[in-house]
Structure 1
Amino acid sequence: MTICCIAPGTFPFPPAPCTSVEIYLWHLARELSRTEPILLYGKTDAVSASDPLSYLRHVLRDVKKHPAEPSIIHIENRIPFLPKIKKTFPRVPLVLNLHSNVLIQELPKLILRKAFHHLDALVVNSRFLQGDLLVRYPFLPEEKVHVIHPGIDLAQFPSRFRATGAALRAEVRAKHQITPEQQIVLTAGRFTPRKGIAELLDAFRIVHAAHPHSVLWIIGGSPRNAEHPFHNLIREKAAELPVHFFGFLPQSELPNYYAAADVFVCPSQLPEAFGLVNLEASAAALPVVASGRWGLTESVAQDVSGRLVEEFTNPAAFAVEINRLLADPDRAAQLGRSGRNWVERHFSWEITARQFLALYERTKKGRLLN
């Protein structure tokens, strides 16, 4: 079964700087290629990232050069690509993998209805996103929407309790002059209000009063723009606190900082489809404290990999859970270890690829029966 995988085309694949979508497809295609022929397409120097239609035409021309049509065409996120692909390959089943509900909300419902008509299967990364889409778009057939959770590269995110992770932990803590008694609270994500950075800083002020040796590390951005209201707010809330803003870090460096930390926090204030950062933290054997809503409840297992905060808009509620973990390192370590085991059992790329292959087979058979 030849599988054609098409990335959005805006960013290249790793190790070049890219988004989680390219990282996802690169890992999935690599795993699928162990048993199936793969045609993998993404941004190249020859194709303008600013012109999606030129990119798609380039991809389709290349696919047509192959002696046989692909068995499945797998598209990441790009809903507007569907009609053109179906027109070019009318007999090939189309599978769309949608990572969030952000892009889909930007499209008129008439466009969506036409695009979904060409679709054989829609994959989403959480039960939350599945339910959200079916409520928003009643014309979307329920039987076409499937949940497949993303995988995690377990080798890339070593447990901080195993030799590789322990070495990374010691190296990073020494680099940043972190003493043995200091405890690191870590968060990572886009530097936007929806990610709950302001709420986390309010929570950390409470945490630091109870644990004077605690420090807060924030990966993903920094309040550099003096004219930006959100940046000014963050600077005010971080004043006189031991907070380190790391800005954007390459994906290859993230495991080092997970290994160095003691607690990971995901305080999102608006809906999240899944929360892949929580799996990354759990793979590193970090206990996770996250908002207890939306798809985050599928990337954190309560009392297995961490704690879900029901009152997610209340910084004091986050402070309670963080303080409990900092005050009880044995409990934190237990959650870290059981979280790593949970990720190993349920979120490897091998598992994700196996579920996609099963869906591809069902989709092909369904097409043959119609």
Structure 2
Amino acid sequence: MKIVVVGDTLVSSDYMEKQAERLFPGHDKKIVKFDWEMKTKEEFQEVILDLEKNGPEARKLSEEITNELKDADILMVHFAPVSKATLDKAVNLKLIGTCRGGVEHIDIEAATEKNIPVLHVIRNAEPVAEFTLGLIYSECRNITRSHVSIINGGWRKSFPNSRYVTTLSELQVGLLGMGYIGKIVAGKLIKLGIKVKAHDPFINKEDLEKDGLGDIELVPLEDLFRNSDIISLHIRLTDETRNFVNMGLLSLMKESAYLINTARAGILDEKALVEVLAKKKIAGAAIDVFWEEPIPENHPILKLDNVTLTTHIAGDTVDAIPKAPKLLVNEMNEFFNNGKLDMIINRKTAENFKL
């Protein structure tokens, strides 16, 4: 079995190679490792944004990597692009694993056409879930606005949402998306005694009960936006979900409700969000992801007083990204040994998987 691993600035190829040695115990393995786009973290951020915005065709692998893929069985990457052109040359490829949740850098359609399962991991699920709770508290209780006021020499006591401020236990949180992160957020909220409802067309009550979340009620999409006091977004960005949360859904929200986004900016209609905030159609919003990063200096959202903004740091902890290959190999072994499909993006390809 030949395994090609491709590390980068954020994920060490040496550590990825070490973890690949644990892959599929009992099988003889030849591991070939590469480093791709080794830049400073600041420069690599541009690479990330390019891939997230423009897909796997935006960047290329070296000819050396491509040649090694011609007879490879397994490919493990972090952010290295896996385009259709690459897959056309990797004629023996049977499985792709990526050390992250997003798969914008992989041509999923091409992989599916070639019957190649693509497995990902939510490496920073716990950090993002924790950060989501932090944004909820910060926005609903004006923590950041009060801090800014003091720093600027003030002592502010009145805010745009002052007539709505209450304890979180009095509010109902609606989760759009009950994937890995959504479920962790739900579990944390429930432990805090907070009422939670959710919408996710891909899960059912039995799925929630297996995860100890049986108390959560699954509701129709419009009901979620109409009745929740806080809406938190936890869906993936795809062609189908781009601008999914549009003016139609935002206009259903209560004037006292809040919107939280730690997922992807593209799932939220930018102009619609700015409009409902500017016109005080909702109480406020807190977002960690933006349509262009860094956010332009003249962006209208910067003039609003009912929004909390953070610099796309929800998943940034010292251990989440570097240790992602360990999580990836664990999931790949679970898939191979026990048929676990939780982290397979294109599940139909897994039906006839063979090494």
TM-score norm. by structure 2 comes to: 0.37
Higher helix share: 1
Of structures 1 and 2, the one with the larger relative CO (CA 8 A, separation 6+) is 2
